[in-house]
Amino acid sequence: MISVNEHFLKLKAGYLFPEIGRRVAAFSKADPDVNIIRLGIGDVTEPLVPAIIEAMHKAVDEMASAETFRGYGPEQGYAFLREAIVEHDYRARQADISPDEIFISDGAKCDTGNLQEIFSVDNTVAVTDPVYPVYVDTNVMAGRTGQADQAGRYSNIVYMPCTAENNFVPELPKEPVDMIYLCYPNNPTGATATREQLKKWVDYAIANKAIILYDAAYEAFIQDQTIPRSIYEIEGAKKAAIEFRSFSKTAGFTGVRCAFTVVPKDLVAYKKDGSAVELNGIWNRRQSTKFNGVSYITQAAAAAVYTPEGQTQIRRVIDLYMGNAKMMRDALTALGLSVYGGLHAPYVWLKTPDGVGSWEFFDRLLNKAHVVGTPGVGFGAAGEGYFRLSAFNHPDKVADAMKRMESLDCL
């Protein structure tokens, strides 16, 4: 008799974004003429910039000729892309990362979900609350947790509340933890972490032989040069952290799929007998076995992000989204709401008015203003009473959404 992996049965309801999609589809079906503005899932709306399109076209042409055609590429990614990443994302910021510490992949969601595989199921996981659901759900699937309680919190996970009081950066845990997921600029709160705050975490991880899984997918949205874009800008971090990066939001690749993960050679985990094992080799082994790399066309397109034209062009698009974030912050603040994030991240995090529940606010906004956002509670129990709006849309649509929220009686 085939048995099922019962850990999957512990998962609460559906994954957040399909659940939102289901509710919006039901609403549209009932009222097909309604013009809905989507500020829910953080999916980019602007087209790929010309430098990227040009590189992609050129790569397609190369695939059309026997002399330049390429079959399987290296599972870790092509050297031209790994070198460009090292040069622009790390050396330029005094972070000492080498190309063989970079692993190109098809997404940070996949990497943050897959990476836990290389750690024992006995490890204790710590996550912020609210949190990007992938970190939690993939650890549930792997069997690192018990059942969820009424509020959706799983046993054996250490939840670190992130509230306005701690500026959405958690305190160090009181109990021992092994795998610590941090995401800055943060999804969903839009908060950033300072150098000093990250240093505390790096020191903690080194002292406790723990590992930080650092999701920096939104680093390109940081406007203030003093805020670290990479955990490796922090002294000692190569011994303490794995970093995830993505071209999705930085360069409009949500539909193209390209990201990378940095596993430093200095980073180790321990066997039961206490001896240390290098994780770079283990992740390399995992990727070589389960993954055949990202397509040449996609990697050629990603490399174009690092050309001078590519940089200028993607910066313009990022500025457009950050203009949306400012528009939302200004409008919502003028409405008297408590608004967070949106300064160095494409997400605005707001407190719902009068303590209304997150899903109730979602329904109100959808029904009355025809605007879709993301209920804060979908990111964890501490997100109840909060709501996330994404800056990824056309400025005129964002302006329209704000007008609807101002003029309609939905607040």
Q: Which residues bind ligand MLT (CB under 6 A)?
A: 41-43, 109, 187
Pair of tokens at residue 297: 């066309």
Nearer to ligand MLT, 16 or 240 (CB): 16
Amino acid making up residue 283: W
Listed in sequence order, the residues at least 6 apart from 81 whose beta carbon sits closer than 8 Å to its beta carbon are 104, 299, 302, 303
Nearer to ligand MLT, 97 or 183 (CB): 183
Rounded-to-integer distance, Cα 267 and Cα 259, Å: 20
Half-sphere exposure of 237 (CA within 13 A, CB side): 28
Q: Quick check: 124 and 116 in contact, CB under 8 A?
A: no
Nearest approach in angstroms of CB 390 to ligand MLT is 6
CB nearer to ligand MLT: give 55 or 314: 314
CA dist 190 and 224 (Å) reads 14
Residue with tokens 């018990």: 146
Residue closer to ligand MLT, measured from CB, 42 or 310: 42
As given in the structure block, the two tokens for residue 357 are 């529940």
CB atoms within 10 A of CB 281: 11
CB of 99 to ligand MLT, least distance (A): 25
Q: Could you report how far apart the first and last alpha carbons of the chain are, in Å?
A: 54
CA distance readout (Å), 317 to 305, 324, 375: 12, 11, 26
Cis peptide before 185 (omega within 30 of 0): yes
Q: How far is the CB of 141 from ligand MLT (least distance, A)?
A: 16
By beta-carbon proximity to ligand MLT, the closer residue of 142 and 259 is 259
Residue pointed to by tokens 């330029």: 92
What is the closest distance, in whole angstroms, from the C-beta atom of residue 166 to ligand MLT in the complex?
21
Q: 95 near 233, Cβ under 8 Å?
A: yes
Tell me how far, at minimum, the Cβ of 108 lies from ligand MLT, in Å. Answer: 7
Based on CB atoms, which residue is closest to ligand MLT, 220 or 279?
220
E strand or H helix at 319: helix 308-334
* Closer CB to ligand MLT, 218 or 296, in the complex: 218
Task: Give the whole-angstrom CA distance, residue 371 versus residue 401.
Answer: 6
* Least distance to ligand MLT, CB of residue 186, Å: 11
Question: CB of 43: closest distance to ligand MLT in angstroms?
Answer: 6
Residue placing its CB nearer to ligand MLT in the complex, 187 or 287? 187
What is the C-alpha separation between 245 and 40, in angstroms, rounded?
21
Token pair, residue 75, equals: 């599972």
| 389 token code pair | 């709006």
Least CB distance from residue 228 to ligand MLT, whole Å?
Answer: 21
**Residue with Cβ nearer ligand MLT (42 or 376):** 42
Least distance in Å: CB of 169 to ligand MLT? 19
Query: Residue 180 carries which side chain, given as an amino acid letter?
Result: I
Q: What are the phi and psi torsion angles at 332 (to 5°)?
A: -70, -35
Residue nearest to ligand MLT (CB): 42
